[in-house]
Amino acid sequence: MAPKKRPNMEQPTTRVTRSSTRRVNSKPNYTDPDPPKPKRAKKTTPKSEPKPVVNAAVDSGSKCVVIEHCTQCNQFKIRAVKVKEGLENGVPGLEVRVNPEKPRRGCFEIREVGENGEKFVSLLDMKRPFGPMKALDMDKVISDIIEKIK
């Protein structure tokens, strides 16, 4: 068994370590660092006010046509934009919305929103190469829709 320590015989020794010598030789950290500069306020550019969401049922004065096209292929988008421009030019005051909701796959549909909700063109579940859509004469479709709306 190890001998017992003698309680008062030894003086407490101070250990000298690298960290203790650094503390002794360094400046005290009493000074407060400069307070951080206040952040600049973001410059607000005058943005156009968002259009209020108006349901077609509430606004009975103007008609609204919805063009729903699949995002799978660019051909859907090309035809939808062509129909949108044709309808806006042909019927003044007509509101045309393109994909207001998530579109269905393989779908190209042009319909009127409202109580009667007439469908002008409805091509659903088309598979590649989208033959029924490519067979459509878009100029004729646009003129037919304009006649039905007027």
**Secondary structure class of 114 (helix, strand, coil):** coil
SS3 10: coil
- How much is the pTM? 0.57
- For the chain, the structural domain boundaries read 64-149
Please write the tens of the pLDDT for every residue from 27-76: 665 666 777 888 887 777 766 555 554 443 444 457 899 999 999 899 99
Q: Which CATH architecture has domain 64-149?
A: 3-Layer(aba) Sandwich (3.40)
Give the tens place of pLDDT for each residue, 90-116: 998 899 999 999 999 999 999 999 878
Dist. CA 75–CA 121, nearest whole Å: 16
